[in-house]
Amino acid sequence: MTRENTQLQSTVTGGVDTHRDTHTAAVIDSVGRLLGHRMFPATTPGYRDLLAWLNSFGTLLKVGVEGTGAYGHGLTRYLTSQGIKVIEVDRPDRKTRRSAGKSDPLDAEAAARSALSGNRTGTPKIRTGHIEALRNLRVARRSAITHRADCVRRMKSLIITAPDQLRDQLRRLTIAQLIKTCTALRPDTTQAADPAQAAKIALRSLARRYRHLSDEITDLDALITPLTHAANPDLLKLHSVGPDSAGQLLVTAGQNTDRLRSEAAFAMLCGVAPIPASSGQTRRYRLNPGGDRQANAAIHRIVICRLRWDPRTRAYLERRTADGLSKKDAIRCLKRIVAREIYYVLTKPQTT
């Protein structure tokens, strides 16, 4: 039997290290031997050439892609459309990189080996439908909220060093009163070299920007709320779960919620799974710094709201603190409970 026939009958696994302009692919056989690696442009013709190159080594079982939600998104979409099983792989850990080095071919080979072994892998999110639209809108909303908060911080910083009369007028106002007052300022723009007039010009500009961003957030909320309800109306029925928190949790889970293997995996994805930190006679758990921090923040907001309005949640906190748990540790337990509740709502089949 010729070498070409042997290659065509063998099964191979691909791995791709993705970048903005180029993708580096590697291919290994069923026992992990490296068969080759090559660089391709990150374009549709490049995707076709990459797939043809992988297929030239034998029957392609699956392809491990690093960064399926970023630079690898286009390649993942193309491979999926061609019926290829795509595996999302994590970056090689630091210990492996220190011992083996760092290069695009090495990272592509590591992606192929991870896909073959199933170690540190996952199912890519489906980037279509309501959830992807919701994610795009939330990116703009989060940016507007961040810049609006920055406007307030800069206004307060200007007030500290403003002339006495202006500082006394503004320093004790609420945010709403401050925005209204600064918007109504009438500085003399011809005297911009005067620090007092320059302070008024800057404060008025920031106040107008704050109002513009508030209007932008309101417009985005009018689009986001019905999308969130359409994606999973049962999620909004949960206690203290509003459109903002629900939208973030839907984006974190993705359109294909079947990729979440268990409620424990979802808790780890959200960064609320407890991490053992026991030693000797001490038995405790510590904060989980991993996972999606936006999802973690959403679950934290839900817990804080329930502590204020839900008698059962307050009773749980009192019971756990009476058992010797600190308030922070009790809140971490509550976040884990909320994650479990949300997981079953997210993965429940939706009736149309």
pLDDT tens, residue by residue, 54-83: 999 999 999 999 989 889 999 999 999 999
Any idea where the domains of the chain sit in the sequence?
A: 3-122, 130-231, 235-346
Instruction: For the beta carbon of residue 63, count every other beta carbon within 10 angstroms.
Output: 27
- b (16+ CB within 10 A) / e for 120-135: ebebbbbbeebbeebb
The DSSP symbol for 2 reads -
At residue 2, does pLDDT exceed 50? no
- Residues contacting residue 347 through CB under 8 Å, at least 6 positions apart: 257, 258, 260
pLDDT digits (tens, 9 = 90+) for 118-164: 887 888 888 878 899 999 999 999 999 999 999 999 999 999 999 99
- Residues contacting residue 164 through CB under 8 Å, at least 6 positions apart: none
Instruction: For the beta carbon of residue 221, count every other beta carbon within 10 angstroms.
Output: 15
CA dist 295 → 145, 249, 292, 308, 316 (Å): 17, 6, 5, 20, 23
* CATH ID of 3-122, from 3.30.1370.30, 3.40.50.720, 1.25.40.10, 3.30.420.40: 3.30.420.40
User: What confidence category does residue 8 fall into, taking pLDDT thresholds of 50, 70 and 90?
Assistant: very low
- Mean local confidence (pLDDT), 236-245: 94
Confidence (pLDDT) at 100: 67
pLDDT digits (tens, 9 = 90+) for 85-124: 999 998 776 666 666 678 899 999 999 999 998 887 888 8
Could you tell me if 315 and 302 are in contact, meaning their C-beta atoms sit under 8 angstroms apart?
no
- Residues contacting residue 37 through CB under 8 Å, at least 6 positions apart: 24, 25, 26, 27, 105, 108, 109
Q: pTM value?
A: 0.83
Say what angle helices 311-322 and 293-309 make with each other, to 10 degrees. Answer: 100
User: What confidence category does residue 1 fall into, taking pLDDT thresholds of 50, 70 and 90?
Assistant: very low
- Mean local confidence (pLDDT), 179-201: 93
At residue 6, does pLDDT exceed 50? no
Confidence (pLDDT) at 93: 65
Compute the Cα dihedral for 230, 235, 237, 241 and give only its sign.
Answer: negative
State the first-to-last Cα distance of the chain, in angstroms, to the nearest integer. Answer: 56
Instruction: For the beta carbon of residue 166, count every other beta carbon within 10 angstroms.
Output: 17
Phi-psi region of 73 (alpha: psi -120 to 50; beta: other; left: phi over 0): alpha
User: What confidence category does residue 174 fall into, taking pLDDT thresholds of 50, 70 and 90?
Assistant: very high
**Of 150 and 352, which is predicted with more confidence?**
150
**Of 1 and 12, which is predicted with more confidence?**
12
Q: How far apart are CA 50 and CA 55, in angstroms?
A: 9
At residue 202, does pLDDT exceed 70? yes
